[in-house]
Chain A
Amino acid sequence: MPKQLLNEPERFLIERWEEASRLEQSMESVREKYEELFERVTDAVTKRHPEFNDCKVNMTQKWSDGEIGFGRESWPGKDGPSGLWMVNLKLERLANSDSADPYACVWIRGDSKIDLESAANILKEEAKKIITSEQLKRFESKWNNLWILPAPSKKEMLTAFSSSDGEEFVELLVKQFDQMARFVPVLDKIFSDYYSKEFNRLSAQWHKDTDHLSSTSKSNAHPAYLEIIALGQGVVPFLLRDLEKNRAHWFKALEAITGTHPLSPSIAGQIPKMAQAWLSWAKENGYHW
């Protein structure tokens, strides 16, 4: 007997195409409403916690299990900030009894050179103040750059989603990030220590290798200089401090990281004026160093 083109469930659909079609539309509509709620969550969390100036939501991508994360531009990570995350949030996962529960976590990008052992100790000390001893047992995960925090269950999340106008769901997640935001000061310290160490190491190498050169093109293309640029926003306070104190030539690095050009040809080459122009711009734009 030749193999059937359609299997049994597919044949079932053919027989009830109209109902199936309505069901398909409803499912799509529910997904859209669910995903839209995360825009409200993002707005609400960043409004309550302006310290979070970086956010990522991965809810529609096929590869994702549904994630939302908040961090700071000064923390490592561009496409997904190191910081505070909730994972396993995709509607399919919440509604599937076999799927794992959502979890919350502190996550540090694995490609940074942060001393994770030291970071783990600092985070654990902070966690002791925030979560119960039972919850603390789950804090350390199988990954050395991810620490688990308690999160609402699938049932709690689905109930909040399906009742009222979605506000209950938004409040549930805002409350979750209220709790997690308590880790911000310690994460600031961990990342600041990291940037300080990296900046000192790389700038020493750069000075050693290029201070005798007149060519700015060559100095600015030195691998250590490029590595400093790659550190991103978190290193900016250190560049500004060095610029203010020593008028070190961080002009191109600042330009590359901030995407700003506060200099003009009228002061080109006049290092004190160029330094002042950058420092003024940084003050006006809320940088602290």
Chain B
Amino acid sequence: MNPLVDLFPRLSGNEYQITSPKTIDYNCIAWAAGDTQQWWWPSEDLDNDYWPPGVPRERTQDVIVAAFATLGYVVCESEEFEAGYEKIALFADADGPTHAGRQLANGRWSSKLGKLEDIEHELHDLEGEEYGVVALILKRASASIA
């Protein structure tokens, strides 16, 4: 029994690696944004969840796009690796965004699974009941890395 595969059945039979141990100090949005010090979420709770100042706090795709726009990301079409760019994939279900992962230099993707581990995986292997589907891709030029 593998708890990760139980949650994300498409990981079964495909290669994925756990790349860092569990930590509850940051989450998927923070990880995709390159921040391992804060828990990012657009809740209305100003005291508990970090969210970039000036960006609305509601669980919608537009809001997540606006948050990543503060880091220089824009919406793009392709999930394929492009040299010179960093990409983020946003997952969503019927209720709104659920998860974000970031692309690695080898073209695979890295995800922090809530309070669980970071894993390296194929993009669509996290699709399913828990995270929904990949809803859009964002990118920025690698030079804009702080």
Which residues of A are interface residues toward B (Cβ below 8 A)? 207, 210-217, 246-249, 251-252, 261, 263-265, 268-272, 274
Contact = CB atoms under 8 A, between A and B. Distances in A.
B114 A212 contact: yes
Interface string B33-66: 0000111110101111111000000010000000
Interface stretch (B20-28, B70-78, B80-88, B136-144): B20-28
Contacts of B59: 215, 217
Given A213-B114, A268-B46, 9 more contacts: A212-B114, A214-B40, A214-B99, A214-B100, A264-B47, A265-B47, A268-B48, A269-B51, A270-B37
Q: B29, B37, B114 — which one has the most chain A CB atoms within 10 A of its CB?
A: B114
B116 A212 contact: yes
Contacts of B24: 246-249, 271
A42 B130 CA distance: 54
B98 A249 contact: no
B113 interface: yes
Contacts of A270: 37-39, 50
A215 B26 CA distance: 12
A212 B7 contact: yes
Contacts, number: 79
Interface of B: 7, 24-30, 37-41, 43, 45-51, 59, 98-100, 113-116, 130
Contact of B98 (A214, A246, A265): A214
Given A214-B28, A214-B99, A215-B41, A263 B47 contact: yes
B114 A210 contact: yes
A206 to B, nearest CB: 11
Given A212-B114, A249-B24, A274 B50 contact: no
Contact of A212 (B37, B46, B47, B113): B113
A216 B48 contact: yes
Contacts of B113: 212
Given A210-B114, A264-B47, A269-B48, A217 B25 contact: no
Q: B37, B41, B98, B116 — which one has the most chain A CB atoms within 10 A of its CB?
A: B41
11 contacts: A213-B114, A214-B98, A214-B99, A216-B39, A216-B45, A217-B41, A268-B50, A269-B38, A269-B39, A269-B40, A270-B37
The 5 closest A-B pairs by CB, nearest first: A269-B50, A269-B38, A263-B47, A214-B27, A269-B39
Contacts of A215: 41, 43, 59, 98
Contacts of B115: 207, 211-212, 249
B130 A271 contact: no
Contacts of B49: 216, 268-269
Contacts of B27: 214
A216 B43 CA distance: 7
Nearest to B40: A269
B32 to A, nearest CB: 10
B116 A211 contact: yes
Contacts of B29: 214
A78 B130 CA distance: 37
A168 to B, nearest CB: 53
A246 B59 CA distance: 27
A272 B37 CA distance: 9
Contact of B43 (A217, A246, A264): A217
Contacts of B100: 214
